[in-house]
Chain A
Amino acid sequence: MLFRKFTRRGKYALAPALTLPLAGCAKGSPWWIFDPKGVGAHASFIYMMIDVGVMLAIVGVTALLIVWFMWKYRKGSNRGAYDGKWAHSNTLEVAFWGIPIIAVGFLAWAVSVNGSFAVNPYNPTAVTKHLKPNGDPIDIDVIATDWQWLFIYPQYHHIAIANKLVIPAHTPVFFRLTSTAVTTDFFVPQLIGMIDVMPGMRTKDALMSDHLGSYQGIAADYCGAGMSWMLFKTHVVSKADFDRWTQMMENNPDTMSYQQFNRFAEPYINVHEKTPAWGRVEPGLFDHVMLEVMNGKKWPLPMFMTENMFHYLKIQAAEHRA
């Protein structure tokens, strides 16, 4: 069984090894972290390279030293002189403390401080520095349910779409995020790092991408049985395409009130990759949901969706096949 799968995947087997050095220029690279397409993700990537460079210099040299000593001082090899008393050297010990201190000092300033501000979710300078030249940013409200994503565009007549995100290229996008039931993480590996999405609370993040394309979005933190299926494709489209898309969405007759949202937010495993859309959701839905949750609103999971969920899964699988 495994073997058959293996040959089926034969073509992938070598691909990763080959694409590693090309990461960054190959299109559709599977190395999402090495192939950033958003300015925040890109900044993170640069910081990672600096950090790894510095650390590898120390770790690599140490590893080589150990291997060299193992070779040189092996008993019976007679390559190195034995000194069974030698266990202390001021010079060396100062160096042993000094080297890591200098390295940590450098990394603290160069990567930790600078990086924290560059991709600070609440005000990422990597994104906000594009605010002026690139004009009007757009806002998107994100509500995570058990186990779907709802994206609301308040500036565009409150159009909304679930499990699919569409954003224009070259435009800063600002997210407000909350969740109905439990905590998870909003994450698009190639565009934007993870940010917690918590019930009864609002977090923020921002992204900007200059690369048209479609990128995988993931619910990155464990949030229950439907987590693996809580995916969303993020489409970065040209401004013209984005305008066309919002136009089309605004013409969608479906609307969503808070009551309807209540039903939408019931536990649902999105095995069918459905992406329902609404021409208009109740304005202020985001704040409404947050307020309700703070006041104790819950969307409880029934027993059959937590412990013994075989029956539920069977129904869903059947639905999927139909």
Chain B
Amino acid sequence: MLVNVPGPWSPLLGRLALSEIPYTNPILAPLFIVIVLAGIALIAGVTYYGKWGYLWKEWFTTVDHKKLGIMYIILGLIMLFRGFIDGLMMRTQQALGDGPGDNGMKLMGAIHGYLAPFHFGQIYSAHGLIMILLAATPLLVGLMNIIVPLQIGARDMAYPYLNALGLWITTAAVFLIMISLFVGDFSHNGWFGYAPIFEMAYSPGVGVDYWIWTLELVALGTTLGSINFLATVVKMRAPGMTWGRLPVFTWTAVSANIIALTSFPCLQVALALVGADRYLGTHFFTAGFGGNLMLYTNLFWLWGHPEVYFVILPAFGMLSEVIPAFSEKPIFGYITMVLASFAIAGVSWIVWLHHFFTMGMGPYVSTEFSIATMLVGIPTGVKVFNWAFTLYRGRLTFSAAMLWSIGALFLLLIGGLTGMMLAIPAINYMVHNSVFVVAHFHMMLLCIVYAVFSAIIFWFPKIYGFKLNEVWGKIMFWLFSAGTFLVFFPMFMLGFMGETRRLDWPFNPQWGAWFDVQEIGIFVYVLSVLAFLWMLYVSIRDRHANRVHTADAWGTSRSLEWLTDTPVPFYNFAMVPHINALDEVAWRREHGFMDKKPDHFKAIHMPNNTPIALYIGALTFLVGFGLTWRVWWLTLASLILAVILMIYRSNKGDPGYIIPAEKMEEMDRESKARMLSDDSHQVPHGGGFSGGTVTAYAALDRDASGPLTPPSDSRHL
């Protein structure tokens, strides 16, 4: 039943062989050595400082939504860097390889430039997959993870263990795609794959298999996460946090995760069918034997388009938090803002066909999807107008976070304009599959990246207790923006010059000048990466000077996350606050309630750490690796073990633990003292008065429950 593969196969090692390791490749071999050395240094360092226990207890086994969020963000930033290096290599290949006939440089066996076609193909395929699913998505999921529970006044996510599981499965996907650098090859059929070129006959190597299982793993991780977010927002809101008081960022998280929950399964099914074709010899997407290759494209984009809104909506939410804070005004048109988010989410379901107008489905179908696509422009337009009028009559401070947000607005305008062009079949035929499309979605995805940097700078002090260096944040912003302009303005121009995408050899010498400008741009980006690292270094070095002594780090913040201590203690709120208004913190600030102390404390209930999520994550990596190389025993063994672990954990459950009221009071006092002191050496491990209960809530439940029974407002696991 299983498909025969070309080349050797053995039961023990599957398709693995020494020759699959590209130790002669002049780029990969040194890179491998560097990574191994860095890994050894890291391990040695951690051992020398005796930090293994700390890492294990505080990070690897944690279920704390803030720590998981931080790990998501670190993962996302690392992958953003990897994807950026891919981008640098692609730009260099096109700059060197451009030219007629036999011109240009020839290195490393390539006919043009320094990358042979299959190598170039792997790089752009990995780049696209990484940037959308392993950089943007973890960054956004990480920020949602940290902020959403804080914004609704919850102690953690609804399912803390599931949250950890999502992170570790995503990490497994990252490991899988990273290992494809050094063991075998990655797919070269683009991040979305094409039927039938990904069939065994046309892609006999393991590349497509790496691609399938990496995608399946992130899809799994993200779906788990989306269930969690929805349950959290629906069930865990603090008293008084009615739907009409939900911060816009949380609203966008809800709309985004509805999209994710409903669309990711589509991708998983599509890929499972590709897998069936490649492993079992079925004919879902083959050209012959009744297969339908157009079906794949439909299924993929049925997920693919909602996915792009899954990533942009939280970014819109971030802009909606940062812009009001630095305009010292509430967001303009809160209700339309929320409605627009859901309009975008809803319409995103009925537009997928605009990704392949060129398949030739006839004018009636095309027109329908074209108009549906343009409908998305309406709520998007409303959002931009609302942000613009949030600035109106405001008092604007152009801090680094604000600059990134406003930069995102401009990118959104350009991306929207070009999106509206692509939405029209008559225009789309001329620029589809050209670098014009590439430039369009980079405007949109960079809008997300801008929003993410803005959000990181904005919320950093809440989590770490000190601000990032403003000057270097701004320098980075300007360098990054210069890079964006230099790389993507030429890309739009090249689109109008007819350059199609994914050319290993850009054959037209007239494109050359623009490639050179792009190459300069990419090096400006390199400078901005250095500025980012320097910003981190300077900020950590000067952390005492930049320490935040108030709950509200910026003095003008608005939503609930700014109510609790800085840095946020592990239980988030010593006493779950009662919500009185939209923009609770702004309301309390105006009414002088910011410094109100809780009049009593209650015992709280927290979840226990668990290593099981980490184990299952590691096992899913082995499943993916085993499947890719067709090592059946490894696949089966890991799969069975993972299932056993899941069942074990489900049966055992987690009773959690109780922190008694007296202890809470003590931790709260400590945390407050720490917030006011200049000493940020300690890892924040507790405390924090939350502003407490201002209104009726305090009267609701005066008799604090005994130390051993969970309080009534805690979560039951």
A contact residues vs B (CB 8 Å cutoff): 1-2, 5-6, 9, 12-13, 15-16, 30-34, 41, 43-45, 47-48, 51-52, 55-56, 58-59, 62-63, 65-66, 69-70, 73-75, 80-89, 92-93, 96-97, 99-101, 103-104, 107-108, 111-113, 115-122, 146, 181-183, 185, 187, 189-190, 193-196, 198-201, 203-205, 216, 218, 220-229, 231, 271, 273, 293-298, 300-303, 306-310, 313-314, 316-317, 320-321
Contact = CB atoms under 8 A, between A and B. Distances in A.
A293 B283 CA distance: 13
Contacts of B516: 2, 5-6, 9
A62 B388 contact: yes
Given A96-B382, A194-B432, A111 B426 contact: yes
Contacts of A93: 333, 336
Interface stretch (B212-220, B352-360, B561-569): B352-360
Contacts of B105: 1
B382 A222 contact: no
Interface in B173-220: 185, 188-190, 194-197, 201-205, 207
A16 B432 contact: no
B118 A55 contact: no
A73 B394 contact: yes
A12 B510 CA distance: 6
Given A96-B333, A107-B420, A320-B102, 17 more contacts: A16-B497, A16-B513, A47-B427, A62-B413, A70-B396, A73-B392, A84-B394, A89-B389, A115-B426, A120-B362, A182-B197, A185-B433, A199-B288, A228-B505, A294-B288, A303-B204, A313-B116
Contacts of B390: 87
B262 interface: no
Interface in B518-557: 519
A309 B117 contact: yes
A87 B328 CA distance: 11
B367 interface: yes
Q: Which has the most chain A C-beta neighbours within 10 Å: B121, B386, B388?
A: B388
A103 B376 CA distance: 12
Interface string B601-622: 0000000000000000000000
Nearest to A117: B363
A87 B396 contact: no
B342 to A, nearest CB: 14
Nearest to B95: A2
Contacts of B207: 306-307
Nearest to A74: B396
Contacts of B478: none
Given A43-B426, A182-B194, A303 B500 contact: no
Nearest to A219: B500
Interface in B356-411: 356, 358-360, 362-363, 366-367, 370-371, 374-375, 377-378, 381-382, 384-398, 406, 409-410
Nearest to B495: A33
A65 B382 CA distance: 14
A194 B427 CA distance: 10
B34 interface: no
Nearest to B490: A16
Interface residues of B, number: 119
A74 B121 CA distance: 47
A109 B327 CA distance: 39
Given A87-B330, A196-B358, A303-B205, A2 B391 contact: no
Contact of A81 (B116, B393, B511): B393
A167 to B, nearest CB: 19
Q: Which has the most chain B C-beta neighbours within 10 Å: A112, A294, A320?
A: A112
B502 interface: yes
B331 interface: yes
B94 to A, nearest CB: 10
B93 to A, nearest CB: 11
Contacts of B505: 228-229
7 contacts: A5-B96, A44-B430, A117-B363, A193-B428, A196-B359, A303-B6, A306-B205
Given A70-B396, A92-B389, A231-B507, A115 B427 contact: yes
Nearest to A199: B287
A189 B494 CA distance: 12
A112 to B, nearest CB: 4
Given A51-B420, A198-B294, A33 B512 contact: no
A216 B498 contact: yes
B425 interface: yes
Contact of B288 (A31, A117, A224, A296): A296
Q: Which has the most chain A C-beta neighbours within 10 Å: B289, B331, B358, B430?
A: B430
B377 to A, nearest CB: 6
A196 B430 contact: no
Interface string B437-464: 0000000000000000000000000000
A302 B397 CA distance: 61
Given A200-B288, A307-B205, A313-B109, A189 B503 contact: no
B577 to A, nearest CB: 23
Nearest to B207: A307
A74 B498 CA distance: 42
B377 A104 contact: yes
A97 B336 contact: yes
B202 A48 contact: no
A116 B374 CA distance: 14
Contacts of B381: 58, 96, 99-100
B291 to A, nearest CB: 8
B659 interface: no
Nearest to A177: B360
Contacts of B388: 62, 65-66, 69
The 6 lowest CB-CB distance pairs between A and B, nearest first, are A193-B429, A115-B426, A189-B498, A32-B498, A296-B288, A199-B287
B363 A66 contact: no
A306 B118 contact: yes
B497 to A, nearest CB: 5
B497 A293 contact: no
Contacts of B329: 83-87
B504 interface: yes
B694 interface: no
Interface in B335-355: 336
Given A88-B332, A194-B433, A225-B118, A47 B288 contact: no
Given A75-B397, A195-B358, A62 B197 contact: no
Contact of A48 (B201, B394, B430): B430
Given A112-B370, A193-B430, A73 B377 contact: no
B386 A293 contact: no
A55 B421 contact: yes
B500 A96 contact: no
B11 to A, nearest CB: 21
A53 B310 CA distance: 30
B417 interface: yes
A187 to B, nearest CB: 7
Given A111-B426, A227-B502, A229-B505, A204 B360 contact: yes
Contacts of A55: 416-417, 420-421
Given A51-B427, A101-B378, A112-B370, A314 B109 contact: yes
A231 B363 CA distance: 28
Contacts of A30: 497, 508, 510-511
A57 B186 CA distance: 44
Contacts of A204: 360
A229 B100 CA distance: 11
Nearest to A292: B288
Contacts of A12: 509-510, 512-513
B671 interface: no
Contacts of B110: 313
Contacts of A273: 101
Contact of B360 (A47, A196, A199, A218): A196
B500 A220 contact: yes
Contacts of B504: 225, 227-228
Nearest to A58: B381
B426 A183 contact: no
